């Protein structure tokens, strides 16, 4: 491929995993037991909350890349698919997970995508070159199929428009296709294509990673800001009720990090609702393979969120705007093994095996930590997408015979199952260890979610200690939950253990002995573990 890929670019500018790599030689490379106590204390007060959760915080992402769409969610030739071509096993998994919102069709793919190629009679749809991943795109799955699939799995769509090679006009046409009842060129085309009722897609991304030189149509921030503004105005003329997300920096290591966001927002602040953040974490060059550092990844996410918030609010101040933007963390995950230019090059094949990261136990612990960080910022981060959902950097993987749950599936499934209500503003006291680039990293990290209607609380607890079990006292400031109804832990002797079709249950949650209920509850957490406890109201 002549196009440079994301990882290659970041390597060239020498900032891959900048948060850790720049000073990795100064780090201890191990957890020095700095404190004396292996006991942490968490004070939980239902009256002290961060905000009420928007369930869109637990969204995901499907892209035309590798085998995500084809062989992932759509596979008409498979014995496991229905008459509509949707893989029934995948559909059942996603529906059962209860993913609230799903981003589509990219990612890098969207920046070269003509949505008109993917609608109408399937036999007439063109086979085209997917230039983002040098693959062949059959266009047999497009906007109507995605929106039908979303309905089938019970998810809301988050559509991205092409602001790379595409125009604001074509983006507004897509809004018209999706959201206008009838009587106009594009709404009538939708009806002709079989969807009589409008889809009423509410959330839209204005392009993807436009700051990246790997992006088709990449441009300077000011130019992008003007293009995003134009697109926003045209799209809102078609449907004033839509919510729009501008492209923020694609990576904290970008040379233009924060400055891109500032310049973009200077142009389009008044016309958008949110800005996007992306971040993929790894235990490769970023950390020098040091698992203690890797388990601190979510503290880097905390900082990224706070930095982007600061830029948004600075622009807001300069503009004297009444409006405060929210953040859309619409690509986040662990991804560091299958991310070279070779892994992104489909060699012109259809549904090639690309970026099929195999996730191990420590990746799942990191994903659990990242969920904690998203929760504690839920007052500003209202939408987020685990990237991606199936096959490519995903919790679910398919083969001809079925679907596999990777390790990262489990922390994601827990928060989807229990994440409702108000996120608690917990006070956490824990010993910690030093990571030079971050500072003190507490062994224990926790999120708590309280549902006022039922009085139930869910706790998600990460123990970053690689060698020692730790005790965590939860001290309830008001009425304590009467019992622990469900208490499970993800852990195991081997941080590098992973699931496969041959051994699908190597890393799965185990029951954890629940603490005795009371005003103070003491959890005994195994080393390197992620625990979920569900405490119903009385």
Residues taking part in catalysis = 209, 331
**Among 60, 81, 108, 463, interactor with ligand AHR by CB under 6 A:** 108
Q: Which of 63, 145, 360, 437 binds ligand AHR (CB under 6 A)?
A: 63
**Please, which residue, 276 or 298, has the CB nearer to ligand AHR?**
276
Residue placing its CB nearer to ligand AHR in the complex, 63 or 176: 63
Structure tokens at 20: 């850790």
- DSSP E strands in 66-139: the ranges are 101-104, 128-130, 135-137
Question: Which range of residues in 102-110, 257-265, 357-365, 404-412 is near ligand AHR by CB under 6 A?
Answer: 102-110
Helix (H, G, I), strand (E, B) or coil at 388: coil
Interface positions, 330-359, toward ligand AHR (CB under 6 A): 331
Q: Quick one: which segment of 106-114, 135-143, 225-233, 300-308 binds ligand AHR (CB under 6 A)? A: 106-114
Where do runs of H (alpha helix) occur along 281-337? 291-294, 297-319
Tokens representing residue 403 in the block? 């679907």
Least Å distance, CB 108 to ligand AHR, is 4
Task: Tell me how many degrees the CA angle 329-334-337 measures, rounded to the nearest 5.
Answer: 140
Long-range CB contact pairs, 235-242, < 8 A, 24+:
235/161, 235/168, 235/171, 235/172, 235/175, 235/204, 236/271, 237/172, 238/172, 238/175, 238/176, 238/179, 238/180, 239/175, 239/179, 239/180, 241/202, 242/175, 242/179, 242/201, 242/202, 242/203, 242/204
164 in Cβ contact with 218 (< 8 Å): yes
**Among positions 78, 138, 179, 388, the unique one binding ligand AHR when judged by CB under 6 A:** 388
137 binds ligand AHR per the rule CB under 6 A: no
Nearer to ligand AHR, 175 or 277 (CB): 277
Q: Cα(240)–Cα(402) distance, rounded to whole angstroms?
A: 42
What's the closest the beta carbon of residue 370 comes to ligand AHR, in angstroms?
15
> d(Cα 251, Cα 485) in Å, to the nearest integer?
40
SS3 of 5-27: CHHHHHHHCCCCCHHHHCCHHHC
Rounded to whole angstroms, how far apart are CA atoms 339 and 7?
6
**Applying CB under 6 A, does 209 fall inside the site for ligand AHR?**
yes
Which one of 100, 105, 107, 157 is in contact with ligand AHR (CB under 6 A)? 107
- Nearest Cα to 418, choosing from 485, 357, 495, 482? 485
Q: Return the residue of 59, 85, 105, 106 that touches ligand AHR, per CB under 6 A.
A: 106
User: Is residue 380 at the binding interface for ligand AHR, with CB under 6 A as the rule?
Assistant: no
Q: Does 387 bind ligand AHR (CB under 6 A)?
A: yes
How far apart are CB 53 and ligand AHR at their closest, in Å? 24
- Measured between alpha carbons, how far is 369 from 526 in angstroms, rounded to an integer? 16
Q: Which stretch binds ligand AHR (CB under 6 A): 91-99, 100-108, 346-354, 520-528?
A: 100-108
Closer CB to ligand AHR, 65 or 533, in the complex: 65
Minimum distance between the CB of residue 465 and ligand AHR, rounded to whole angstroms? Answer: 31
Residue with smaller CB distance to ligand AHR, 61 or 199: 61
**Residue 520 C-beta: closest distance to ligand AHR, Å:** 43
The residue from 6, 87, 131, 380 that contacts ligand AHR (CB under 6 A) is 6
Asked if 9 contacts 108 with a C-beta cutoff of 8 angstroms, the reply is: no
How far is residue 327's CA from residue 379's CA, in Å, rounded to a whole number?
A: 9
| Dist CA 378 CA 400 (whole Å) | 39
CB closest to ligand AHR, residue no: 107
- Shortest Cβ 355–ligand AHR spacing (Å): 7
How many residues make contact with ligand AHR (CB under 6 A)? 11
**CB neighbours of 96 closer than 8 A, spacing ≥ 6?**
none
CB of 250 to ligand AHR, least distance (A): 6
Q: Which is nearer to ligand AHR, 9 or 86 (CB)?
A: 9
211 binds ligand AHR, rule: CB under 6 A: no
Question: What's the min distance (Å) between Cβ of 506 and ligand AHR?
Answer: 26
- Select from 130, 139, 143, 208 the one that contacts ligand AHR (CB under 6 A): 208
Exposed/middle/buried for residue 428 (C-beta within 10 Å: 0-12, 13-18, 19+)? middle
Can you read off the two tokens belonging to residue 293? 């550092």
Binding mask 175-194 for ligand AHR (x = CB under 6 A): --------------------
**What residues line the site for ligand AHR (CB under 6 A)?**
6, 63, 65, 106-108, 208-209, 331, 387-388
């Amino acid at each position: 491929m002549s196009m440079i890929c994301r990882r290659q670019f970041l390597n060239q500018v020498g900032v891959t995993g900048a948060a850790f790599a720049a000073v990795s030689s100064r780090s201890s490379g191990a957890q020095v037991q700095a404190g004396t106590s292996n006991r942490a204390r968490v004070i939980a007060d239902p009256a002290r909350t961060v905000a009420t959760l928007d369930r869109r915080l637990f969204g995901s992402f499907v892209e035309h890349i590798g085998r995500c769409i084809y062989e992932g969610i759509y596979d008409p030739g498979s014995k496991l698919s229905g008459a509509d071509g949707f893989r029934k096993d995948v559909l059942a998994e996603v529906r059962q997970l209860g993913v609230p919102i799903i981003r589509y069709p990219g990612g890098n793919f969207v920046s070269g995508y003509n949505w008109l190629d993917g609608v109408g009679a399937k036999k007439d749809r063109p086979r085209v070159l997917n230039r983002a991943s040098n693959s062949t795109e059959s266009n047999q799955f497009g906007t109507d199929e995605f929106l039908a699939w979303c309905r089938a799995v019970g998810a809301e769509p988050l559509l991205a428009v092409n602001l790379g090679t595409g125009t604001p006009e074509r983006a507004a046409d897509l809004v018209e296709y999706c959201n206008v009842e009838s009587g106009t060129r594009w709404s009538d085309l939708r009806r002709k294509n079989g969807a009589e009722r409008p889809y009423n897609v509410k959330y839209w991304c204005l392009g993807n990673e436009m700051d990246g030189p790997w992006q088709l149509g990449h441009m300077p921030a000011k130019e992008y800001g003007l293009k995003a503004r134009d697109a926003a105005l045209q799209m809102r003329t078609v449907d004033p009720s839509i919510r729009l997300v501008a492209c923020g920096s694609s990576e904290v290591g970008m040379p233009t990090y924060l400055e891109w966001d500032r310049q973009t927002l200077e142009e389009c602040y008044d016309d958008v609702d949110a800005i996007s953040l992306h971040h993929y974490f790894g235990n490769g060059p970023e950390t020098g393979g040091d698992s203690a550092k890797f388990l601190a990844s979510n503290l880097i996410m905390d900082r990224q969120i706070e930095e982007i918030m600061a830029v948004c609010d600075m622009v807001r101040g300069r503009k004297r705007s009444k409006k405060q933007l929210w953040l859309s963390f619409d690509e986040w995950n662990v991804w560091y093994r299958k991310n070279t230019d070779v892994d992104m090059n489909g060699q012109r094949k259809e549904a090639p095996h690309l970026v099929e990261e195999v996730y191990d136990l420590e990746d799942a612990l990191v994903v659990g930590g990242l969920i904690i960080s998203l929760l504690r910022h839920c007052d500003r981060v209202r939408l987020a997408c685990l990237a991606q959902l199936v096959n490519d950097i995903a919790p679910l993987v398919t083969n001809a015979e079925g679907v596999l749950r990777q390790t990262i599936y489990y922390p994601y499934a827990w928060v989807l199952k229990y994440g409702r209500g108000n996120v608690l503003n917990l006070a956490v006291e824990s010993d910690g260890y030093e990571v030079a680039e971050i500072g003190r990293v507490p062994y224990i990290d926790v999120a708590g979610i309280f549902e006022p209607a039922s009085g139930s609380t869910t706790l998600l607890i990460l123990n970053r200690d690689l060698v020692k079990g730790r005790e965590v006292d939860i001290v309830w400031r008001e009425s304590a939950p009467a019992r622990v109804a469900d208490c499970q832990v993800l852990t195991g002797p081997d941080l590098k253990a992973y699931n496969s079709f041959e051994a699908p249950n190597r890393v799965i949650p185990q029951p954890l002995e629940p603490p005795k209920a009371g005003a103070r509850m003491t959890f005994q957490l195994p080393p390197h573990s992620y625990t979920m406890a569900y405490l119903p109201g009385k």
